[in-house]
């Protein structure tokens, strides 16, 4: 029986899961593992990494089945990738000086420019929802010490 890659997207996605899962698990070995009764800080990331490897292996194997849909990888769209990576970098650079609310607004607007279906209404709705969720989860929920607004607006 000859193995052939029928669904290149599934095989590539599986390989990414395997690589990241292995990196998580190997990185977790630098921490105390503990055991099931007394878990150390390395326990959870180690087993999440193992699960990622298992999911990746199953996904990649599915892409090599004879009945898998023939789905070749397409050439990456560098423009889209640049907008997304640029938005994340901008968020990281702007978080401290502008605060969470304005940094998230920049993140959503800039990353929206990567979409071929860009629309201001959807972008505005995503911005409001992401800001509300982030304030609820990170500021109120787990009390992260991130400024909400720029210091020049508060003082």
Query: 41-55, 83-97, 141-155 — which is least confidently predicted?
Result: 141-155
pTM over 0.95: no
48 and 86 belong to one structural domain:
no
For residue 79, pLDDT over 60 is answered with yes
37 and 94 belong to one structural domain:
no
For residue 82, pLDDT over 90 is answered with yes
- What pLDDT sits at residue 85? 95
58 and 82 belong to one structural domain:
no
Whole domain around residue 47: which residue ranges?
8-62
- Domains of the chain: total: 2
Q: How confident is the model at residue 1 (pLDDT cuts 50, 70, 90)?
A: low
Structural domain contains residue 2? no
108 and 148 belong to one structural domain:
yes
57 and 112 belong to one structural domain:
no
Torsion of CA 78, 82, 85, 88, to 10 degrees: -150
Mean pLDDT of 51-71: 90
For residue 56, pLDDT over 60 is answered with yes
- What pLDDT sits at residue 28? 93
53 and 90 belong to one structural domain:
no
């Amino acid at each position: 029986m000859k193995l052939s890659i029928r669904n290149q997207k599934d095989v590539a996605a599986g390989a990414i899961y395997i690589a990241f899962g292995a990196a998580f698990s190997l990185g977790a070995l630098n921490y105390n593992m503990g055991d099931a009764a007394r878990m150390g800080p390395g326990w959870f990331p180690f087993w999440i990494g193992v699960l990622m490897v298992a999911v990746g292996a199953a996904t990649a194997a599915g892409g090599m089945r004879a009945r898998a849909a023939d789905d070749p990888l397409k050439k990456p769209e560098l423009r889209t990738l640049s907008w997304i990576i640029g938005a994340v970098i901008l968020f990281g650079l702007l978080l401290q000086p502008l605060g969470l609310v304005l940094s998230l607004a920049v993140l959503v607007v800039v990353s929206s420019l990567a979409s071929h279906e860009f629309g201001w209404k959807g972008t505005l709705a995503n911005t409001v929802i992401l800001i509300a969720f982030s304030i609820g989860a990170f500021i109120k929920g787990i009390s992260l010490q991130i400024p909400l607004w720029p210091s020049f607006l508060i003082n």
